[in-house]
Amino acid sequence: MSTTHAPTPTRLHTALDALPGLAREIGQDAAQRELRRELPYAAFDAFRRSGLAALRIQTSRGGLGGSLQDAIHVVTTLAAAEPNVAHALRVHFDVAESLRLASASPFIDRQIGRLVDGKLYGGASGEQGTARAGQIETVLRREGDHYRVTGRKYYTTGSAYADYIRTNLVDEQGNGVTAIIPVRAEGVQPIDDWDGMGQRMTASGSVQFDNVRVEPAEVVEKGYPSLIGRHGGAYRQLHLVAVAAGIVRNVVSDARDYVVGHGRPVLHTTAATARDDVFIQQVVGELSALSHTIDVLVRDTARTLDISSDAILNQDPEADDKVLQSALATARTQIIVGQLALKAGERLFDAGGASATSRKYNFDRHWRSLRTIFSHNPLHHKARVVGDYVLNGTRTHLVEGRTF
């Protein structure tokens, strides 16, 4: 008599199977932690232990070999439990994606090894007080056989929780460079001064560099116009949309839990309970439909970016066009999800009336966070760029590798 054995689960399947439990752990008491402004350091320790830090790295290089769709699934699942954590991992996932697509080199191999070991990356690119958004003025200066950097970065999402900071600088000739700096290096100080109304625990405030030593082996030139850079621009934007999708899932679950646990039927209904009230059922039904639609859009866009990522990796002669289509798909998805998600954040309160506005529930965090996320890049600009492409074939902003 033969015995059929189930296939041995891969490390990828094991990590993804454990994702719901990880999300529950990370999301425990999240709404109240936001009220107390308690930074979720423990959540990032849990993420390190999950093995998902190297989700996108090929198995041949020690990673889990997951798809881009898998990565977006992880982001959305975590965001439904704790969007601050999912958002703060944005640079980490972006670093992993760029490393996956890069050719082997001592610099690339070193960073991949760190990912495989569970290390996390944060970002420090933006600067306040410059003439234009995105302008970099912090200079990397040569000092003997190494470099030094002094300056202050803002919008340093996730850096306080990370092991390494990917920071954008200029060299002494004014050329753009990227440096990898350990968070615990002497002279590095993350500062919890992010005062945005939403995504309050993303550690998106400042990092101060005070004469920090930077090793030459940790410095590379910037590469915005490259296919990898262009793909990364779209991927970073999709990550934000995935966080928003998770928040809207949380809107639906908060609406359901409130109605079942605390709601009362409205004045002009014959229903005995809130859950039987046809008006409230309609609100929750609309919220569920909004969440479903957003999830479908995000999944479909993730499939498009999976195609462009593999096209780059495999040196597909059509990679340029596929990356362009990813930029278009992501922009279109952002435009629509921005509208639908913000509507969900507002509509939630129609499921509970004035009592649902009590600070103890902290339901307003959803709209605040969504509004903050969709303020990153002007959606009206994206709509104009897409329209210019449809009408005139203009590719300028779609191929610059920055916003799109």
DSSP letter for each residue of 230-257: HHHHHHHHHHHHHHHHHHHHHHHHHHHH
| Residue 369 token pair | 């966070």
The predicted pLDDT at position 133 comes to 80
Indicate if the pLDDT at residue 56 is higher than 60: yes
Q: Counting beta carbons within 10 angstroms of the beta carbon of residue 99, is it exposed (0 to 12), middle (13 to 18) or buried (19 or more)?
A: buried
How distant, in Å, are the alpha carbons of 20, 74, 156, 313, 392 from that of 190?
30, 26, 8, 35, 45
Stated pTM of the model: 0.95
- The whole-angstrom separation of Cα 220 and Cα 167 is 11
**Greatest pairwise CA separation for the chain in angstroms:** 81
Average pLDDT over residues 64-81: 98
Residue percentage of the chain with pLDDT more than 70: 97
CB 153 within 8 A of CB 125: yes
- The whole-angstrom separation of Cα 99 and Cα 93 is 10
Backbone torsions φ then ψ of 317, nearest 5 degrees: -60, -20
The predicted pLDDT at position 344 comes to 98
236-258 pLDDT tens trace:
999 999 999 999 999 999 999 99
Which residue ranges form the domains of the chain, and what is each CATH number? 11-119 (1.10.540.10), 124-221 (2.40.110.10), 227-400 (1.20.140.10)
158: left (phi over 0), alpha (psi -120 to 50) or beta: left
What lies within 8 Å, CB to CB, of 339 at 6+ separation is none
How distant, in Å, are the alpha carbons of 12, 20, 131, 351 from that of 354?
45, 33, 44, 10
| Residue 277 token pair | 């009230």
- The whole-angstrom separation of Cα 400 and Cα 402 is 6
Average pLDDT over residues 73-98: 98
Between 402 and 359, where is the model more confident?
359
- pLDDT bucket at 23, cuts 50 / 70 / 90: very high
36-51 pLDDT tens trace:
999 999 999 999 999 9
Between 115 and 131, where is the model more confident?
115
328-355 pLDDT tens trace:
999 999 999 999 999 999 999 999 988 9
CB 265 within 8 A of CB 275: no
CB 155 within 8 A of CB 168: no
- pLDDT bucket at 9, cuts 50 / 70 / 90: low
Instruction: Say which residue the tokens 């933006």 belong to.
Output: 126
How many CB atoms neighbour CB 1 within 10 A? 2
Q: Report the b/e string of 151-174 with b at 16+ CB within 10 A.
A: bbbbbbbbbbbbbbbbbbbbbeee
- The whole-angstrom separation of Cα 12 and Cα 17 is 8
- pLDDT bucket at 8, cuts 50 / 70 / 90: low
Average pLDDT over residues 218-238: 90
- pLDDT bucket at 264, cuts 50 / 70 / 90: confident
The predicted pLDDT at position 326 comes to 97
